[in-house]
Amino acid sequence: MARFSPSIAKNVMTRAMQAIIDPLPSPPEVEKLWSHFEGKCAYCGCTIERASRTGHLDHVRAAAEGGSNNVFNHVLACARCNGDLKRETLWSEFLERTVADPLLREERKARIGAWLARAPDRPVTLQAQAIIQTAVDAFDRSVAELRALRKPRAQGSLGAANSCPDVRCPSGATK
């Protein structure tokens, strides 16, 4: 896969523009999240050592599904719950499956719900989406123009099959 390609650049450009109006949580916001969940996984309740880097900010509603990067759309999750176990499962379904004790499950559900309730309206507006789409469309037009300027590669510039000097050449050519 190419390190840099128009599709990768377009993805990065789109995310960068979205981050202007929907930035990732700031360090003070992340501190509030850790405090609200008392340094424990919102799902399984295990204690997460901050220095261990095993605590994840789990998007409750993924950006691809209309969720934001706002801190109140995240919960603190251990690496195991966020990575291996939860995956694409809704948080409430995952909590139901993860916590057998109904009282403990309701306590965790209430803590998560209280955190999520603090979320403001999603900042990405139709106007912002239109601005981003305009930039992406302009990028696509520029890529097409650049490709039109590119000179075609000369035939055999990568070595014609009949000129391969190595008998082990995958092209099947021989000396």
The ranges assigned to domains in the chain are 25-116
> Which residues, including other chains, have CB under 8 Å from residue 172's CB and lie 6 or more apart?
161
Q: Is the pLDDT confidence value at 20 over 50?
A: yes
Say if CB 60 and CB 116 are below 8 A apart.
yes
Half-sphere exposure of 141 (CA within 13 A, CB side): 6
Q: How confident is the model at residue 53 (pLDDT cuts 50, 70, 90)?
A: confident
CATH annotation of 25-116:
1.10.30
Within 13 Å, how many C-alpha atoms sit on residue 118's CB side? 15
How high is the mean pLDDT of the chain?
85
**pTM higher than the cut 0.85:** no
* Alpha-carbon span 43 to 80, nearest angstrom: 10
Partnered with residue 77 across adjacent β-strands are 56
